[in-house]
Amino acid sequence: MILDSKIPEGPLAEKWKNHIARGKLVNPSNKRKYEIIIVGSGLAGASAAATLGELGYSVKCFSFHDSPRRAHSIAAQGGINAAKNYQNDGDSVYRLFYDTIKGGDYRSREANVHRLAEVSMNIIDQCVAQGVPFAREYGGTLSNRSFGGAQVSRTFYARGQTGQQLLLGAYSALSRQIGLGTVEMFCNQEMLELVVVNGEAKGIITRNVNTGQIQRHSAHAVVLGTGGYGNVFNLSTYARNSNATAAWRAYRKGAAFANPCYTQIHPTCIPVSGDYQSKLTLMSESLRNDGRIWAPKKLGDKRPPNEIPEKERDYYLERKYPSFGNLAPRDISSRAAKEACDEGRGVGETGLGVYLDFSDAIERLGEETIRERYGNLFAIYKEITNESAYETPMRIYPAVHYTMGGLWVDYDLMSNLPGLFVMGEANFSDHGANRLGASALMQGLADGYFVLPNTIPHYLADVPREAAPSIDGPEFAVAELEVRDRTNKLLDNNGTKSVKSFHKRLGEIMWNYCGMARTKEGLEKALELIPQLREEFRKDVRVPGEGKELNQSLEQAGRVADFLELGELMCRDALAREESCGGHFRVEHQYPDGEAMRDDESFAHVAAWEFKGEDKVPERHVEPLEYEETKFTTRSYK
């Protein structure tokens, strides 16, 4: 397998500009002759579909939801970064680039990250022009706040629902193109297989989740914007239906899967309350602008928080990381919370929680200001816990939130399978081993609005201007048969255990052995347990109902079957990466003070895995990461 990142020559700040200026183009009158399939309608999918449709390509966009607006980008709360320097606080493209490289613990590509920082400004302009109601100052200019891992205020936001507003902006642009007929929208269609013709991605097989109908679709290129795979952990901040099936099917058809072990555990989520729990809810990182995180100094201190005097509280982030304090990056904050709880200083019924306290901010700024900034978040907290965070500190605990790993792509966002492009959280490229807050929305929209529309012609220009491969071809027939076989096998299995019970057990294995802290022994154990569980699933899963109508158990069964394979790959990757970096913390590799110890000599590379066949050991390939502009330094937020 060849992993050529195709990073353009020239100085870092000129690469993207030159790459567009010199790249191949498709003539405006020829664009409509090219069909492009886009799977997913979140920030990346919707923005790409709208932009490519507007450019004149024939676009088909697929979503398993009933409407493109339901994609889980909608749930992002805090904000989106852009190097606008509207605050005159010393921000620049370079600083956003540098913060993102450092935040990713020197495991991302310099050229990709610089491009991301460059186009960040266009995104804000675009969204404002669409009517996205970002927060504003009284004078009418845009407002900013700060986020973890940065010492400037560069985050734009729309109350606590920035993702919703950005997605609805992209959805409105997509809706306009659907109305104009440049984009054909396929809702309730789940992609269950990728079709490869002569070594290139040329189509997909879908199942209509409402009717069970299996359909073939062909195109000149296939683009995945299908999100991350955090639901492998079962309990996460992801939507219940978020899944890895599209990406996993592409992997099994030859696309490399990069850095699967890089998962982000978000520090501020509402703790688990019971066995029945179906999901974890995030409390936006923006709360750390005004909230102070602490745990009692005393072990097992069960007093209510208001009765614990100031001198018996440990504001551990402020103590350990005085220059960033409560705004330390996510991986660091999460591990610090875990440490406090592991020491026996956790709070709440389960002891798995720490406090996020607003009493100082309320005293300083008044309750009204806090309500204006975070009112909806406090309301969510109240709904779930029945407690008011205006009166008592929030209880928070880390939870799985994002996956930095994903399908391997080159600088043009094309995977090693020609014709297959991957955007947003589904690819691996821009966040390294840890994503900074407010960077996911930035990347999704950067890829969809500005990167892919400029890079996809580099591939299409060399594709003959003839019709896309016929869906009657043998490759489509075989792929459809595979889907039918898998579906029927699940339905006819007649086992005794529900899909959900398997998902839960897989999640427990992943959280215990491939979660916030990983050890060699633990990962080896997981690599024994997961194949056993997978075998049990194949023999004993029960999927009620039929295939010819809406069958939510069947949908989940297909997704969990794929998670049972992906989970194993994640553990394999975590085991092979003998270092700690970003969200990947190997207990064996740490400094005496507990900070993560990277090994730049042996591991400054992307690990991309190649599928070698059913239940066979995949092959690990390496793309070295070369740092021209920045120097490796031990990440310090002290």
Cβ-contact 230, 402 below 8 angstroms: yes
In angstroms, give the least distance from the CB of 56 to other proteins.
12
Token pair of 189 as six digits: 């269609």
Cβ-contact 64, 209 below 8 angstroms: yes
User: Of 32 and 240, which CB lies nearer to other proteins in the complex structure?
Assistant: 240
User: Of 325 and 547, which CB lies nearer to other proteins in the complex structure?
Assistant: 547
Reduce the secondary structure of 315-342 to three states and give it as a string.
CHHHHHCCCCHHHCCHHHHHHHHHHHHH
User: Of 101 and 246, which CB lies nearer to other proteins in the complex structure?
Assistant: 246
In angstroms, give the least distance from the CB of 432 to other proteins.
27
Cα–Cα distances (Å) from 265 to 399, 515, 521, 573, 584, in that order, read 5, 8, 21, 17, 10
CA 147 from chain centre, in angstroms, equals: 17
To the query of whether residue 330 is one of the catalytic residues in this protein, the response is yes
Nearest alpha carbon to residue 454 among 407, 408, 411: 411
User: Of 24 and 240, which CB lies nearer to other proteins in the complex structure?
Assistant: 240
In angstroms, give the least distance from the CB of 281 to other proteins.
5
| Residue that the structure tokens 């990167």 belong to | 451
Cβ-contact 41, 423 below 8 angstroms: no
Partner residues linked to 295 by β-bridges: 314
Cβ-contact 422, 131 below 8 angstroms: no
User: Of 162 and 416, which CB lies nearer to other proteins in the complex structure?
Assistant: 162
Which DSSP string do the residues of 543-612 spell out, in sequence order?
A: --S-SSS--HHHHHHHHHHHHHHHHHHHHHHHHH--S-BTTB-BTTSB-TTS-B---HHHH-EEEEEE--
- The C-alpha atoms of residue 313 and residue 297 are separated, in whole angstroms, by 5
User: Of 53 and 582, which CB lies nearer to other proteins in the complex structure?
Assistant: 53
Cβ-contact 260, 573 below 8 angstroms: yes
In angstroms, give the least distance from the CB of 327 to other proteins.
24
Which of 310-332 are b and which e, b meaning 16 or more Cβ less than 10 Å from the residue's Cβ?
eeebbbbbeebbeebbbbbbbbb
In angstroms, give the least distance from the CB of 370 to other proteins.
16
Which DSSP string do the residues of 345-385 spell out, in sequence order?
A: ---STTS--EEEE-HHHHHHH-HHHHHHHHHHHHHHHHHHH
Catalytic residue among 115, 249, 330, 572: 330
User: Of 359 and 553, which CB lies nearer to other proteins in the complex structure?
Assistant: 553
Token pair of 333 as six digits: 């904050």
In angstroms, give the least distance from the CB of 526 to other proteins.
25
In angstroms, give the least distance from the CB of 511 to other proteins.
19
Cβ-contact 227, 426 below 8 angstroms: yes
User: Of 496 and 636, which CB lies nearer to other proteins in the complex structure?
Assistant: 496
- The C-alpha atoms of residue 603 and residue 522 are separated, in whole angstroms, by 21
Which of 414-434 are b and which e, b meaning 16 or more Cβ less than 10 Å from the residue's Cβ?
bbbbbbbbbbbbbbbbbbbbb
Largest CA distance in the chain: 75
In angstroms, give the least distance from the CB of 162 to other proteins.
11
User: Could you tell me which residues come within 8 angstroms of residue 585 by beta carbon, excluding any fewer than 6 positions away?
Assistant: 331, 335, 516, 517, 518, 596
User: Of 369 and 636, which CB lies nearer to other proteins in the complex structure?
Assistant: 369
- The C-alpha atoms of residue 373 and residue 370 are separated, in whole angstroms, by 5
In angstroms, give the least distance from the CB of 628 to other proteins.
28
CB count, 10 Å around CB of 466?
A: 8
Residues annotated catalytic, as ranges? 330
